[in-house]
Amino acid sequence: MHDTQAIRQLVLRGRRRDAIFAIIGLICMMIGILTLAVLLAGLIQDGAHRLNWSFFENFPSRRAEKAGILSAMVGSSLVMLITAATAIPFGIGAGIYLEEYARRSWVTNLIEVNVTNLAGVPSIIYGLLALSLFVYALDFGQSILSAGLTLALMILPVIIVSTREAIRAIPVSIREAAYGVGATRWQLVRDHILPYSAGGILTGVIIGLARAIGETAPIITIGALTFIAFLPASPISGEFPFINFEWLESPFTVMPIQMFNWLSRPQAAFQENAAAAGLVLVVMTLVMNGAAIWLRIRFRKRIKW
Amino acid sequence: MTADSTGQMSGAANADSRFAHKPTRHIGERVIEAILFSVSMTAVAVTVGIVGILLYESASFFEQVSIVEFLTDTQWTIMFADKHYGVLPLLAGTLVTSTVALLFAVPVGTIAAVYLSEFASMRVRETVKPTLELLAGVPTVVYGYFALLMVTPALQWFMPDLPGFNMLGPGLVIGIMIIPYITSMAEDAMRAVPMQMREGSYAMGATRLQTSLRVVVPAATSGIVAAYILGISRAFGETMVVAVAAGQQPNFTWNPTEPGATITAFIVQVALGDLPHGSLEYQSIFAVGLVLVLMTLFFNVLGHVARMRFREVY
């Protein structure tokens, strides 16, 4: 009898400890999520009243209540255009090569080790690389082109890794079937591998671009100006050939730098602008990341091998 | 098929040309492979570029500043008339903010990972994991706002002496930023532990907590260490939170309640000013950048050694 009671007590104590740990675990898990909630609430409280049309239509200004984010929004969009145009083909190409073409060799290993390591390099180091290479050695200057390429290098590992993961999920039977009917390797990639992995690749691309759009440090390092009260030349022109590339060399600012600039001023009115810009930035990145996660879940549900 | 490919059935010209041997096809394949290969080599080129440029620009810096002074002088006053080039204040700033961040993020992140992997239901896990990804996507400059205008004022409630710029607030915020990384990676490692090990433990009468802490965590140590190393790398490299909220004054102190500057914050500060190409200030940011990369590399190698040491194969 005595023994049974002792055992019961032991079990009870074990259960109690489990319950206590579960509560602590729940709290720890919620810290991040609660922080995001508090942060959003704070930004809304400080900045929501600044969010009106003129905030999106105005240039930065010395008077806080007249300042807006037009040049920052345009700058961010143009920089993202360059980043996407370079990082997407390079990232997907490298992912395809590593999964479908590369044979085990020391070169392949070298590439793989480099991709893994680059993902861990602090973003500001990409800024230093770009400052020396793009801004001075290649003489692109402190331009939209330099910034776009810098961010492209930074998100390259993200796109490569997600491309590889998406491709790896395709069963070998698909490849065997394609080769069986006489497809070449490129035909297999073009007609089967790419379409089936498109969802996963798209997810990676969106996550990468969301990271790039919020990134500040490398862009500051290449020397982006913080006060820009004009727009770069429009990429689309009225006369032939309808596209011009002058904007590539234009000075610029981007959303996070604009926010940083307002944030480093002591006046409360500018910090309200910073809150409003931060709110726009957070919503943009949350929407992009949310879309990426939603896409991934959808594609996972739809494709059953 | 044979008839087509040998071209005996002259009537079926269409089929003939379709099955004919096309020499260009192989050339095209080769070209595509070559293109894809060169695209993959970008990754190698970027690494070579980073290492090469950091070494090259730092070499010019160390021609003018002795390495001994760089490593032992306790002042970093490159912006003033009386110039001192001691990296120790920046190093101390980086280590102080990172230590605060890790002291906060490692326990919280690990406990959250154990909870998610061993205690939470499938549904909770499926909702929380994507949310962690969302958290990791919030721009760092926004976290800078959080540190300067929300966390520091909140801390001043408990510590009235805390200056408006300090390293404690940014350190805690960096900790919050790296929790999602640590939780997510550590949880993956624990999930990968085979179910039989848990079943064996339960069969011996262990509770959930005992199973988690004495079976799952030890078995997943290698992956958990990898998560910590990623956290350390992120904390070292974090820039904007510190640049916004820590005061941007190089300050040789180990006290987190004082203002300070990290390596990253200094790079931002110099880059914001007018930076003549080739000047000593210009070269100095590459020299401290090199230190940052070496620090990150050191911990990554350490982590690699630890992973090999703790690796369990099932």
Q: What is the DSSP string of chain B?
A: -HHHHHT--TT-HHHHHHHS--HHHHHHHHHHHHHHHHHHHHHHHHHHHHHHHHHHHHHHHHHHS-HHHHHH-S-B-TTSSS--B--HHHHHHHHHHHHHHHHHHHHHHHHHHHIIIIIS-HHHHHHHHHHHHHHHTS-HHHHHHHIIIIIHHHHHHH-TT--SS-SHHHHHHHHHHHHHHHHHHHHHHHHTS-HHHHHHHHHTT--HHHHIIIIIHHHTHHHHHHHHHHHHHHHHH--HHHHHHSBS-------TTS-B--HHHHHHHHHHS---TTSHHHHHHHHHHHHHHHHHHHHHHHHHHHHHHH----
Nearest Cα to Cα of residue B42 among A139, A115, A131: A115
Average confidence (pLDDT) over B5-24: 56
pLDDT value of position B105: 92
| pLDDT over 60 (residue B3) | no
pLDDT value of position B8: 46
Find all residues with CB under 8 Å of A88, minimum gap 6, and list them: A159, A205
Report residue B277's pLDDT band, with 50, 70 and 90 as the boundaries: confident
| pLDDT over 80 (residue A259) | yes
Residue B51 and residue B46: Cα distance in Å, rounded? 9
| pLDDT over 70 (residue A246) | no
pLDDT value of position A236: 62
Find all residues with CB under 8 Å of B101, minimum gap 6, and list them: B171, B172, B174, B175, B177, B178, B231, B235, B238
Give bridge partners of residue A236 from the DSSP assignment. A243
- The verdict on a CB contact (< 8 Å) between A28 and B146 is no
Q: Which long-range contacts (CB under 8 A, 24 or more apart) does B197-206 make?
A: B197/B314
pLDDT value of position B299: 85
Average confidence (pLDDT) over B84-98: 84
- The verdict on a CB contact (< 8 Å) between A136 and B277 is yes
Selected for mutation to probe chain A from B142, B270, B282 (highest A CB count within 10 Å) is B142
pLDDT value of position B7: 43
- Is omega for the bond preceding A241 within 30 degrees of 0, making it cis? yes
Please list every residue in chain B whose beta carbon sits closer than 8 Å to the beta carbon of residue A94: 36, 39-40, 42-43
- The verdict on a CB contact (< 8 Å) between B42 and A186 is no
Greater model confidence, B112 or A267: B112
Please list every residue in chain B whose beta carbon sits closer than 8 Å to the beta carbon of residue A93: 35-36, 39-40
CA distance A128 to chain B (A): 7
- The verdict on a CB contact (< 8 Å) between B149 and A210 is no
Residue B39 and residue B43: Cα distance in Å, rounded? 8
Report residue A163's pLDDT band, with 50, 70 and 90 as the boundaries: very high
pLDDT value of position B17: 63
Average confidence (pLDDT) over B104-120: 91
Average confidence (pLDDT) over A193-202: 87
pLDDT value of position B6: 44
**What percent of chain B has pLDDT above 90?**
12
Amino acid identity, position A145: L
Report residue B9's pLDDT band, with 50, 70 and 90 as the boundaries: very low
pLDDT value of position B32: 87
The answer to whether the beta carbons of residues B262 and B94 sit under 8 Å apart is yes
Find tokens 């930076």 and name the residue.
B275
Average confidence (pLDDT) over A113-141: 84
pLDDT value of position B114: 92
| pLDDT over 70 (residue A247) | no
The alpha carbon of residue B213 and the mean position of all alpha carbons in its chain are separated, in whole angstroms, by 27
| pLDDT over 80 (residue A48) | no
**What percent of chain A has pLDDT above 90?**
10
DSSP state of A169: T
Distance (Å) of CA A276 to CA A46, A51, B154, B173: 7, 6, 21, 20
| pLDDT over 70 (residue B20) | no
Backbone angles phi, psi at B75, to 5 degrees: -125, 140
Per residue in A2-26, is it b (16+ CB within 10 Å) or e — as a string?
eeeeeeeeeeeebeeebeebbeebb
CA distance B222 to chain A (A): 17
Report residue A240's pLDDT band, with 50, 70 and 90 as the boundaries: low
Nearest Cα to Cα of residue A87 among B31, B42, B49, B134: B42
B151-206 pLDDT, tens digit per residue, is 888 888 887 777 878 888 888 999 998 999 899 889 989 988 889 999 999 898 88
B220-224, B232-236, B239-243 — which is least confidently predicted? B239-243
| pLDDT over 60 (residue A273) | yes
pLDDT value of position A226: 63
- The verdict on a CB contact (< 8 Å) between A114 and B43 is yes
3-state secondary structure of A243: strand
The answer to whether the beta carbons of residues A236 and A203 sit under 8 Å apart is no
CA dihedral B133, B134, B135, B137 (to 10 degrees): 90
Helices B280-310 and B221-237, interaxial angle, to 10°? 170
**Six-digit token pair at B138?**
């919030």
pLDDT value of position A144: 83
**Alpha helix segments (H runs only) across chain A:** 2-47, 53-57, 70-96, 106-119, 123-130, 144-168, 172-180, 185-188, 194-214, 217-221, 255-263, 268-302
The answer to whether the beta carbons of residues B190 and B247 sit under 8 Å apart is no
| pLDDT over 80 (residue A229) | no
Report residue A237's pLDDT band, with 50, 70 and 90 as the boundaries: low
CA distance A7 to chain B (A): 11
Residue of A nearest to B22 (CA): A184
Distance (Å) of CA B238 to CA A119, A273, B177, B233, B296: 14, 24, 10, 9, 12
pLDDT value of position A243: 64
Q: Is the dihedral of CA B68, B70, B75, B78 positive or negative?
A: positive
Average confidence (pLDDT) over A82-101: 91
Report residue B101's pLDDT band, with 50, 70 and 90 as the boundaries: very high
Backbone Cα Rg of chain A: 25
What is the reported pTM? Answer: 0.84
Selected for mutation to probe chain B from A20, A30, A31 (highest B CB count within 10 Å) is A31
pLDDT value of position A160: 92
pLDDT value of position A90: 93
Please list every residue in chain B whose beta carbon sits closer than 8 Å to the beta carbon of residue A45: none
Q: Which of A29-33, A78-82, A85-89, B30-34: highest mean pLDDT?
A: A85-89
